[in-house]
A and B are shown apart, each in its own frame.
Chain A
Amino acid sequence: MTGVVILAVFIATAILAPILIPDAALDVTKADGGRFEGPSLGYPLGTDESGRSVLLLLAWGTRISLTVGIAATIISMVLGTAFGIAAGHFRGAGSHALVGVTDWFLVIPFLPLAIVLATVLGPSTTNLIIVIGITSWAGTARLIRAQTLSIEGRPYLERSKALGAGNWYQMSRHVLPNVFPLVLANTTLTVAIVILSETTLSFLGLGDPQAPSWGALLDRAFSSGAVSRGAWWYVLPPGICVVLVVLAFTLVGRAMERIVDPRRAS
C-alpha cells in the first residue's frame, strides 16, 4: 500500500512536470541563483553548479528516469516472455540454442556488457533504453520458461495439439494467457532493477548529457565537485528519489507475486 502511494506521487510529478516547471528553470543561461547555494526559501533544495534550482531539476528528472525505466522494462519483458515461451514450447536444437543464449546473458556481468554496448551505440536516451532492455531480459526468460514447461504438460494443451493447433496458436492462445499473471508481477520487479541500472549508466555518462535524469544529476554533481564542496543538498535528493521509487516497485512487485503465485512467495 505504501508502495502504491509513493509510486502515485512520483508518477503524478512525472506527468505534471512540464506544466509545473517553467522552461527557464532548466536553462543554464537563464539561471538566477548563485552557484552551489544551500537550501533557502526560494530554492528549497539549494542550487546546482550553474545556479539552477535542484528541486526543479529533480522533478524534471523524475519524468526522464521513469520514462527510461518503463520503456526499457517493456523491451525487457517482451524479449523475456518471447524467449521464455519459445524455449519452453519447442523441443530439440532450437530450444537448446534459446536456453544457451539466455544463460549467456545471465552469466556475462551486466555493467561491463552495458558499457560496451552503450559505447558502440553512442550516448542518447533511446540507446540507453535499448541497452538496458537488451541486458535485462534473461532472468525473466528463465522464469517464464519454467512456467511454460509446467503448462505444456496440461491436458488442455494436449487436446489442442490433438485438434491440430499450430505452434503459434498454442503459444499465443494457451501458454501466453497462463504465464501472463507471472509476467505482470515480474514486470514490477524488473522496473525496480531497470531504474537502478539507468541511474548507474547515466552516472557513468552513458545517457543523454542534455536529459537530466536522476543518474545524470548525480553525474553532474560528481563532475562539478559538489562532493568536495560538501554540497549535500545536490547529492542527497536524487539518491533518496531512486531509493523510494525502487523500494516502492519492489514492494508492489512482491505483493503481486504473493497474489499470483502463493506457493513460490511463501
Chain B
Amino acid sequence: MGSKVLRAFITLAFVVIFNFFLFRMLPGDPIGLYARGRNQDPEQLVELRRALNKPLLEQFLTYLRNPFDSTIDSTRFSRPVWEMIGERVWPTLLLLGTAILLASLIGIWIGIRAGWKPGGRFDRMSTSTTLILYSMPEFWLGMMLLIVFSVGAFGIPGMFPVGGIASPGVDTSSPVGWLNVLRHLVLPCTTLVLIYLADYALVMRASLIDERRQEYLTLARAKGLRDTSVRKRHAVPNALLPTVTLIFLSLGFVVTGAITVETVFSWPGLGLLTYEALRGPDIPLLQAIFLMFSIAVIVANLIAELLYVVFDPRVRS
C-alpha cells in the first residue's frame, strides 16, 4: 500500500517539474503578452522581467517552494488563477457528479443484462449501440442535441435552454432557481451520460462474461439455485469490483468530456475555463488548470487502487 502512495507522489512530482519546464520553452516575450492592453506600472514590468531573467534553476526552486502560488494572475482576466479555478469547481462537480452517477447506474444495468446472455438479442442490440456511442465525439452529440431539443429541428420544438447554468436574473438559491438550473442541466448531462455509459456498459459486460466461466457459478447452479439468484447473489457482486475500479480509473476520460461538453453548452465550469484559457492562450491559467486536472486524476487513481485492495482480498497477498 505504501508503494502505491509513493508511486502516486513520484507521478505528481513529475507533473510539477514538467509543468514548469514545458512552459519555459514557449517562444516570445511572456511579459509583453502579460502587459498587453493593461495599465501596468513600468517599474513593476522591469521587476517581472528581472524575475524571468534569473537562472532557470533559481526560478525552479522558487516555483517548487509553492507551485500553487495564489499571486499569479491570469493574463486574460487579471485575477489570481487559483481563485478563478475555485469558483469554477462547483458547476463542474454538479455536472460530472450527476452524469457519472447516472451513467454508472444505467451502464452497469445494461452490462449485466447483456453479459448474462452474451449473443442474445438484448446483447446484440446494446453492444452495437454502445459501440456507436463509443465512437462518437461527445461534443458533436452535444451540438446535435442542442440543435434538435433546444433550437428545434425536424419538427421538434425547442424545449431546453441553449446554454449556461441558469437564466440571467434568476436567484439560484431559491427553489425556482434550482428548477431553472435543473432545466439547464438536462442536455449537457444527457450528452455525458450517453458517452460515459457506453464505456461502463462494455466493461461490465466483459467482466460478467469473465465471471460466468468461474467454477463457483457452476457449483451455485448445481446446488439448484435459480438463474436470477445465481446472477444477483454470486456473479454480479464479483463482476462489479473491476467495473467500479475502472469507473474511478476512467477519470482522465471523464475530464475530456467535461472540457468539450462544457464548451458546447457554455456551462461555467472548469472545462469552459480550459477552453477560454487555451483560446487566449492564457499561459498562467493553463498551467494551473493542467496541474489541477492532473492532481485530480492521480488522486482518483490512487483511491481506486487502494479501494481495490480493501475490497478484494485476493490481491492483498
Q: List residues of chain A with CB under 8 Å of any chain B CB.
A: 100, 103-104, 107-113, 115-117, 119-120, 192, 196, 199-200, 203-206, 215, 218, 221-222, 227-232, 235-236, 238-239, 242-243, 246-247, 250
Known: A107-B252, A109-B251, A109-B297. A242 touches B259 (CB 8 A): no
Q: Chain B residues near A235 (CB, 8 Å)?
A: 140, 143-144, 147
CB-based contact A230/B281 at 8 Å:
no
Q: How many B residues, CB 8 Å from partner?
A: 53
B121 to chain A, nearest CB (A): 20
Contacts known (A218-B143, A227-B143, A229-B151); A250 close to B131, Cβ less than 8 A = yes
Contacts of B260 in A (CB 8 A): 200, 203-204
Closest 8 CB pairs of A and B: A239-B140, A246-B135, A109-B252, A111-B256, A230-B151, A112-B293, A247-B135, A109-B255
Are the C-beta atoms of A200 and B256 separated by less than 8 Å? yes
Query: Interface stretch among B70-78, B168-176, B271-279?
Result: B271-279
A120 touches B25 (CB 8 A): yes
Contact digits for B137-154, partner A, Cβ 8 Å, 1 yes 0 no: 101110110111001111
Q: Which residue of chain B has the shortest Cβ distance to A199 in the bound complex?
A: B137
B residues in contact with A205, CB < 8 Å: 278-279
Q: How far is the CA of A200 from the CA of B135 in the complex (A)?
A: 12
- Identify which of B14, B136, B143 contacts A222 (C-beta below 8 A): B143
Cross-chain pairs A/B with CB under 8 angstroms, 15 sampled: A103-B7, A109-B251, A111-B256, A112-B293, A116-B19, A200-B260, A218-B143, A222-B139, A222-B143, A227-B162, A230-B151, A230-B153, A239-B137, A243-B135, A246-B135
Q: A119-B278, A120-B26, A227-B151 are in contact. Are A108 and B297 (CB under 8 A)?
A: yes
Known pairs A117-B22, A230-B152; A243 contacts B293 (CB<8 A): no
Given contacts A218-B143, A243-B135, contact A206 B278 (CB under 8 A): yes
How distant is the Cα of A227 from the Cα of B14 in the complex, in angstroms? 41
User: Is B22 a contact partner of A120 (Cβ separation < 8 A)?
Assistant: yes
Q: CB distance A112 to B274 under 8 Å?
A: yes
Shortest Cβ distance from residue A68 to the other chain B in the assembled complex, whole angstroms: 14
Chain B residues positioned under 8 Å from A117 (CB to CB): 22
For residue B95, CB closer than 8 A to chain A, the reply is no
0 or 1 for each of B199-215: is its CB under 8 Å from A? (1 = yes)? 00000000000000000
B264 touches A113 (CB 8 A): no
- Residues of chain B lying within 8 A (CB to CB) of residue A120: 22-23, 25-26
Instruction: Tell me the B239-294 residues at the A interface (CB within 8 Å).
Output: 251-253, 255-256, 259-260, 263-264, 274-275, 278-279, 281, 283, 286-287, 289-290, 293-294
In the complex, what distance in Å separates the CA atom of A112 from the CA atom of B281?
14
- Contact partner of B139 among A113, A200, A228, A246, CB < 8 A? A200
Task: Compute how far the CA of A155 lies from the CA of B281 in the bound complex, rounded to whole angstroms.
Answer: 56
Chain B residues contacting A218 (CB-CB under 8 Å) are 137, 139-140, 143
Interface flag for B15 (CB, 8 Å): yes
Set of chain B residues within 8 Å of A238, measured between Cβ atoms: 140
Q: Give the nearest-CB partner of A119 in chain B.
A: B281
User: In the assembly, what is the distance between CA of A112 and CA of B275, in Å?
Assistant: 10
Residue from A111, A228, A239 in contact with B136 in the complex, judged by beta carbons closer than 8 Å:
A239
**Contacts A120-B25, A227-B264 supplied; 16 other A-B pairs, CB < 8 Å:** A103-B7, A104-B14, A107-B11, A107-B252, A107-B297, A108-B252, A109-B255, A115-B290, A116-B19, A116-B287, A117-B22, A227-B151, A235-B143, A242-B140, A250-B131, A250-B135
| B294 neighbours in A (Cβ, 8 Å) | 108-109, 112-113
CB neighbours of A109 from chain B (8 A): 251-252, 255-256, 293-294, 297
CB <8 Å contact, B146 and A227? yes
Assembled-state Cα–Cα distance A62/B91 (Å): 36
Check B10 for interface membership: any CB of A closer than 8 A. yes
Q: Which residues of B contact A199 (CB under 8 A)?
A: 137, 140
CB distance from B34 to the nearest CB of A (A): 16
B residues in contact with A104, CB < 8 Å: 11, 14
Q: How far is the CB of B159 from chain A (nearest CB, A)?
A: 14
